[in-house]
Amino acid sequence: MHRSILWGILSIALIAAGARNTEAKIEPARPDLKTPKIPLDHYSGLEVSIGQPYAPLTIVMYYSLSCGHCHDFQEKVLPEIKTEFIDKGLVRFVYRDFPTDHFAVKAAKVAWCMGKDHYLTVAKKLLATQDDWAPTPDDKGAIDENKLKQAENALLSIAKEMAITDKDYRKCLVNQNVEDTITRTSFEAQKTYHFEGAPGFLVNGKKFDADMNVEAIRGLLLKMGIHG
């Protein structure tokens, strides 16, 4: 899904043209970034991980909750990676928000609404229902006002399903600290690691340009002398 937004302390314009590109492997984001107020000497933002903290491989995924390819990875690829490597203590998998549009920014704030312990539960629900709360623009990049309203109502409805009250939902949408941190993470993804869209992956701190799947991870482990 491609939409545009001007947001956050970095004034990031994330513009993606047209509807979902089912042939591409990433959901593109086209940034126009300014220097952040916070130095990027190390990552100290919001993230959630699964797996053993001292696993030989740490995979970081920069992803957008409105990204169709991110949804497909979560549903079709990650379960096998979890069974083969994460559950065996060979891989630690980290989620970092990299919103590619306005809807994903709002969704990320909702996902963090109940704190770190509940983030993944809410995020998985949002990924599974993204067609409801992140409408696709028309050929000119516009979204009908009725669709925008329906999207707003759908996001609120999903939040309520996740036991987020109306009051907490409104608070989360205006939480500037969370938005600033997500903005900083997006800046890191684009300026430090040169990701042009989502999902993007790091392996032990280095950008991984190949497809992320079981075969790729097995190959990485073999290079380390580990038979997964």
Distance (Å, whole) CA 65 – CA 106: 10
Strand intervals (E) in 89-193: 91-97
Measured N-to-C along each axis, helices 116-128 and 102-111 cross at an angle, to the nearest 10 degrees, of 140
Task: Tell me the pLDDT tens digit for each residue of 7-53.
Answer: 333 333 333 333 343 334 555 553 444 444 444 344 557 999 999 99
Distance (Å, whole) CA 117 – CA 213: 26
The whole-chain average pLDDT of the chain stands at 84
CB 4 within 8 A of CB 175: no
Task: Tell me the pLDDT tens digit for each residue of 129-173.
Answer: 999 999 888 888 788 899 999 999 999 999 999 999 999 999 999
Strand, coil or helix: what is 228?
coil
Domain ranges in the chain? 6-16+24-33+44-223
pTM of the model: 0.82
CATH pick for 6-16+24-33+44-223 out of 3.40.50.720, 3.40.30.10, 3.20.20.140, 3.40.630.30: 3.40.30.10
Tokens of 96: 């970092």
